[in-house]
Amino acid sequence: MSATDPPGRERETREPRFGFFRRTLAMVIKEFIQLRRDRVSFAMIVMIPVMQLLLFGYAINTTPRHLPTAVLLQEDSDLGRSILKALQNTAYFDFTIEVHDVAEFDNLLLSGKVLFGVEIPRGFERAVRRGDYPALLVAADATDPVAAGSAMSSLGFIVQTALAHDLFAGDPPALPFEIRAHARYNPAGSSRLNIVPGLVATILTMTMLIFTALSVTREIERGTMESLLAMPIKPVEIMLGKIAPYVLVGFIQASLIVGIGVFLFGVPVRGSLIMLALLSTLFITTNLSIGHTFSTIVQNQLQAMQLSMMFFLPSILLSGFMFPFMGMPVWAQYLGEVLPLTHYSRIVRAIMLKGATLQNLQHDTIALFALMVLAMTIAVTRFRRTWIDASDYGQADFRNGWNGVTSPQRNSSTAFGGAGDSLRLTGVVIEQVRLKRCSDPLHDDIVGQSAGAAKRIFSKRQSLRCQECRSPPRSNDDIETAGSGAKPSIST
């Protein structure tokens, strides 16, 4: 009740008409404005459904065709050529390589260059004419049961139909030869043998990307990155120092997943564990470099998470983990080849299920190493741009700023008395460089000051950051002081 109101009467407060809807509408408009400013989130809203629609519509195929097949033709006969032509007409098999001995035949399946191999033995046609019921060998790489299942199940009917007119008149009887289908490396077609090794690669990709991207952006949000940049340490050393702990974390994760897969799900490890550990370290380093690159692009942890998921989504769809890689169109396979998850999935499956050696995995190892070098180069180049160099604050300005701090100031034990104050001293140098670049009058106050004066100036500067440095606004008193052209008084 106000003093002008008559006694005993209270001021009547009325709700404005449509006040609830006006306030709600104002908040809606505010959120749209904020969404428009957050370009990364807006891109996620648009790109994720579009990406999923395009990938599932054009790239994903659960019934793969034109699968690479090797042929070991030990005799050149009409019946042998008819069988190969019948298999090729099914669109399941694409004969890409012709081998001449069994060792080369087995090596192609072991290295993953082909998914099928067809062997027609010597004297096959003569044995069929004589009714000896010979065997036709069709070997399949069954580490991916989905890719091999459809083609293997249709072998008998397709060959019998195609050879009906070559061998018989009228309705053909049963096949005069045996089709011996051999599902190698996974005879039972167990899906867990395919999923568990793929999970090693998938989990490492997701965790390594997110951990590294968040670790750097966390430094930026907390304001400790400036202290790191001011220290006598190179950008490469900072990056390697932040990556190294997560290499050990990723190695522990991989060991945990493989151990659970072996002891709980019965997944075999037929290859060398040492080679698996070395190539896993290479893959972990590649993902950490990519995550570090993301951290130099984004501005906060939310954007780092969003960008990591934008990279992880096509990786899991185009790597062959969820859907057969060979069933994708050519353009999708080219995209998948530039993803580290694709090559490491082949490596871990080949080592665990096939017992492959490094010679069998040369292609994927070289590709993974090249991707690691490329990702590391981009990460270092991007991180250097955040360093205090000529393109940012200027190396000359930084050196001059450090030279302007007196010797007692550089000694953290005598000037500030602790590690925390030592980091604050490096902040004084950063502030000096910033103020000089922004033509701020406080720059002259910092140069040459004693330790105590520099500490007080730096504390005052926490609320006096210029717009060019994208820092919090000044207080009203400081704005008036700056507008009058007078320097803030500093008592020493």
| CATH H-level superfamily of 67-184 | abc type-2 transporter like domain (3.40.1710.10)
pLDDT on residue 201:
92
Residue 349 contacts residue 270 (beta carbons within 8 Å): no
131 residue type, one letter: G
SS3 182: strand
Predicted confidence at residue 418, as pLDDT, reads 34
The tokens describing 2, both together, are: 């106000």
Task: Please name which of 131, 142, 143, 135 lies closest in space to residue 118, comparing C-alpha atoms.
Answer: 135
Nearest-angstrom CA–CA distance, 199 and 259: 12
Residue 309 CB contacts under 8 Å (≥ 6 apart), including other chains: 44, 48
Name the burial class of residue 400, with classes exposed (0-12), middle (13-18) and buried (19+) by CB atoms within 10 angstroms of its CB.
Answer: middle
pLDDT tens digits for range 386-412? 554 433 444 444 444 444 444 444 443
- pLDDT tier for residue 3 given thresholds of 50, 70 and 90: low
342: pLDDT strictly greater than 90: yes
The answer to whether residue 344 scores a pLDDT higher than 90 is: yes
Q: How do residues 431-485 score in pLDDT, each as one tens digit?
A: 444 444 444 454 444 444 444 455 455 555 544 444 444 444 444 444 444 444 4
Q: Give CA–CA dist 205/321, Å, rounded.
A: 12
How far is 316 from 455, CA to CA, in rounded Å?
51
- Greater model confidence, 153 or 489: 153
pLDDT of residue 407: 42
pLDDT-based confidence at residue 274 (cuts at 50, 70, 90): very high
pLDDT of residue 370: 93
- The pLDDT value recorded for residue 286 is 92
Residue 96 and residue 121 in contact, taking contact as beta carbons nearer than 8 Å: no
Which strand (E) or helix (H) includes residue 118? strand 116-120
91-141, pLDDT tens digit by residue? 788 888 888 888 888 888 888 888 898 888 888 888 888 888 888 888 888
Q: Please give the sequence-ordered ranges of beta strands (E in DSSP) within 80-234, or none if there are none.
A: 93-99, 116-120, 135-141, 178-184
Least confident of 171-180, 324-333, 363-372: 171-180
What average pLDDT does the segment 268-287 reach?
Answer: 92
The neighbour count for residue 206, using CB atoms within 10 Å, is 18
- On the 0-12 / 13-18 / 19+ scale of CB atoms within 10 A, 401 is buried
Give the pairing type, strands 178-184 and 135-141.
Answer: parallel
Sheet with 178-184: list strands edge to edge. 93-99, 67-73, 116-120, 135-141, 178-184
Give yes or no for a contact between 383 and 235, defined as CB atoms under 8 angstroms apart.
yes
pTM to 2 decimal places? 0.70
Q: Is the pLDDT of residue 308 over 50?
A: yes
* Cα 300 from Cα 204, distance rounded (Å): 22
| Number of other residues whose CB lies within 10 A of the CB of residue 260 | 13
Check residue 4 and give its pLDDT.
54
Q: Is 14 helix (H, G, I), strand (E, B) or coil?
A: coil
One-letter amino acid for residue 170 of the chain: G
When mean pLDDT is compared over 175-184, 268-277, 457-466, the highest value belongs to 268-277
Query: Which residues are CB-neighbours of 246 under 8 A, at least 6 positions away?
Result: 208, 211, 212, 215, 284, 288
pLDDT band (50, 70, 90) for residue 234: confident
Question: Residue 183, Cα to own-chain centre: how many angstroms?
Answer: 32
Handedness of CA 424, 428, 433, 435 (dihedral sign): positive
Cα-Cα-Cα-Cα dihedral sign, residues 3, 6, 8, 12: negative
Domain limits, the chain:
67-184, 192-384, 395-484
Instruction: Report pLDDT for 229.
Output: 67
Residues 293-298 have a mean pLDDT of 83
**Is residue 440 within 8 Å of residue 489, measured between CB atoms?**
no
Mean pLDDT of the chain: 75
- What is the distance between the terminal CA atoms of the chain, rounded to a whole angstrom? 52
Average pLDDT over residues 165-172: 54
Tell me which range, 5-9, 220-224, 378-382, is most confidently predicted by mean pLDDT: 378-382
pLDDT in tens, 16-30: 777 788 888 889 998
Q: What is the pLDDT of residue 457?
A: 55
Q: Please state the three-class secondary structure of 361-408 as a single string.
A: CHHHHHHHHHHHHHHHHHHHHHHHCCCCCCCCCCHHHHHHHHHHCCHH
Minimum mean pLDDT range among 251-255, 377-381, 453-457: 453-457
| H or E element in which residue 164 lies | helix 164-167
In this prediction, residues 162-169 reach a mean pLDDT of 57
Share of the chain above pLDDT 70, in %: 71
C-alpha distances in angstroms, 50 versus 307, 400, 427? 15, 51, 45
Closest CA to 167 of 73, 82, 60: 82
